[in-house]
Amino acid sequence: MPFCRINKITTWYHESDEGAGLPLIFVNSLGTDHRIWDDVIGGLGSKRRCVVFDKRGHGLSDVVPAPYAIADLADDLLALADHCGIERFAICGVSVGGMIALSSAMAAPGRVAGLVLCDTACRIGTVESWNARIAQIQSAGMESIADGVMERWFSAAFRHSRPHELAGWRNSLLRTPAEGYIATCVAIRDADMSAAAKCVNVPTMVIAGAEDQSTPPAIVRALADQISGARYELIAGVGHLPCIEQPDRLAMLLDDFLETLPDE
């Protein structure tokens, strides 16, 4: 099982077989781990080297003490790329993963060749909403937020027609360490990626789920409007995690976009 030590954090990661195309690093959302990308990577085939990892506080990576900032999480991503010997790459991030992708591009513009930003925004939620969620977890545990999170993550059709998958992703949320989850909530609460979005000077695709309740299409589109030349795509019938609900559609969009980028 692949682990590495980056920024004094034991980090779980996995690299697919190296292909000829530009490497692609995936970044997870809050309360999930690397498995949300499994079917997307399967849909891409073996064209390119793909890297997934569990960010600090999630999955099999270390839970380190708060505070976390988006810049810290971006630094972890760049350090992982160093560990893997990848100099130039594209990033696909969903939700907070999209924020991390933006921060990475701002910190290392010469290394990031393209961005795919799924269901994310310059600001996600409000200070009040994040503080309320944090307080609820502190008083009643992760179980107390699970059903509400499932409603925001997934479309009504998914919740009603795929109950066993819904239960599995709910289990995944509940296995996220509360300390890591809360620390990442604080990072999102305190983040404003407007400056980073305006600095982006690489090809970018911004994707929204039409039924996303966490980052509704209007605020995802507003992010796309702040990035010069960004391509905007709306996926019908999905919520916050198109990588789970419609991985084949997301893989097709990714493949189409990545084919426009130089291989190095």
As a whole number, mean pLDDT of residues 188-202 equals: 97
As a whole number, mean pLDDT of residues 202-226 equals: 98
pLDDT of 47: 77
As a whole number, mean pLDDT of residues 56-85 equals: 96
pLDDT of 1: 67
CA 103 to chain centre: 12
Sheet strands (E) in the chain: 3-6, 9-15, 21-27, 48-53, 89-94, 112-118, 204-209, 231-235
Structure-model confidence comparison of residues 114 and 1, the more confident one: 114
In the chain, the N- to C-terminal Cα span, in Å, equals 29
Residue 259, pLDDT above cutoff 80? yes
Q: Find out whether 250 and 243 touch, Cβ atoms under 8 Å.
A: yes
> What is the C-alpha to C-alpha distance for residues 152 and 195, in angstroms, rounded to an integer?
27
Res. 21 pLDDT band, cuts 50 70 90: confident
pLDDT of 263: 72
As a whole number, mean pLDDT of residues 136-143 equals: 98
As a whole number, mean pLDDT of residues 66-75 equals: 96
pTM, two decimals, is 0.97
Residue 46, pLDDT above cutoff 90? no
- The answer to which of 9-18, 32-41, 224-233 has the lowest mean pLDDT is 9-18
As a whole number, mean pLDDT of residues 48-66 equals: 95
What does the pLDDT look like over 94-108, one tens digit per residue?
999 999 999 999 999
How large a percentage of the chain has pLDDT more than 90?
Answer: 94
Annotate 20-47 with DSSP letters as a single string.
SEEEEEEE--TT--GGGGHHHHHHHTTS
Angle 64-27-259 (CA atoms, 0-180°, nearest 5)?
160
Task: Tell me the average pLDDT of the chain.
Answer: 96
pLDDT of 110: 95
> What is the C-alpha to C-alpha distance for residues 234 and 44, in angstroms, rounded to an integer?
20
Residue 264, pLDDT above cutoff 70? no
